[in-house]
Amino acid sequence: MSYTKRVIRYCERCKSDKEFYASQTGKHSSSVCIDCTKKSANFFYQAVREKVLLYYGGNPPKCACCGELTEGFLSIDHPLPHPDGVRPDRGGAEAYRRLVKENFPPGYRILCYNCNLGSAHNNGVCPHEQEVKKLIESSGEKSGSSSD
């Protein structure tokens, strides 16, 4: 079986047919090579993710709990129970696309992965929030007992 070569309009490189996704018929009919398809999908994902981070996390986006600013650590979080009553089957790119498509519904926030995971394992409350509550309660008890 011989492979033909064609020049790709995106990367402007000459590639063989085996460097393209095959259609259901088994022929390599795509006009965009596998590498360019992956780069394009990643670019689209990053653009949609940035929109979501800026909308829910401010400019610059930050964690609603601890204030983390490193974008690589930030993720979307929803309160428990899920705002529309149905938890999406998938997270990641699908979740970000869904939020943009639904015009940024309320009830979501940006958390860093530590706070997101901490709240998931702690009935929706981040360990940072628990520590702050404990400090406030303990300072209230101290100030209340010294007034006598």
Average pLDDT of adjacent 10-residue blocks, the chain of 148 residues: 51 65 62 73 85 94 94 83 57 84 90 90 84 79 56
pLDDT number for residue 131 = 81
Q: Where are the domains of the chain?
A: 1-32, 37-137
pLDDT number for residue 2 = 45
pTM for this one? 0.66
- DSSP tally for the chain: helices H, then strands E: 4, 4
d(CA 140, CA 9) in angstroms, rounded, equals 67
Tokens representing 72?
């690589």
DSSP state of 63: -
Give whole-number Cα distances, 40 to 11, 33, 120, in Å: 11, 11, 32
DSSP E strands in the chain: the ranges are: 5-7, 14-16, 74-77, 109-112
pLDDT number for residue 66 = 92
DSSP state of 87: -
Select from 26, 21, 75 the least CA-distant residue to 49.
Answer: 75
Residues 6+ apart with CB under 8 A from 18: 3, 28
pLDDT number for residue 94 = 84
d(CA 132, CA 76) in angstroms, rounded, equals 22
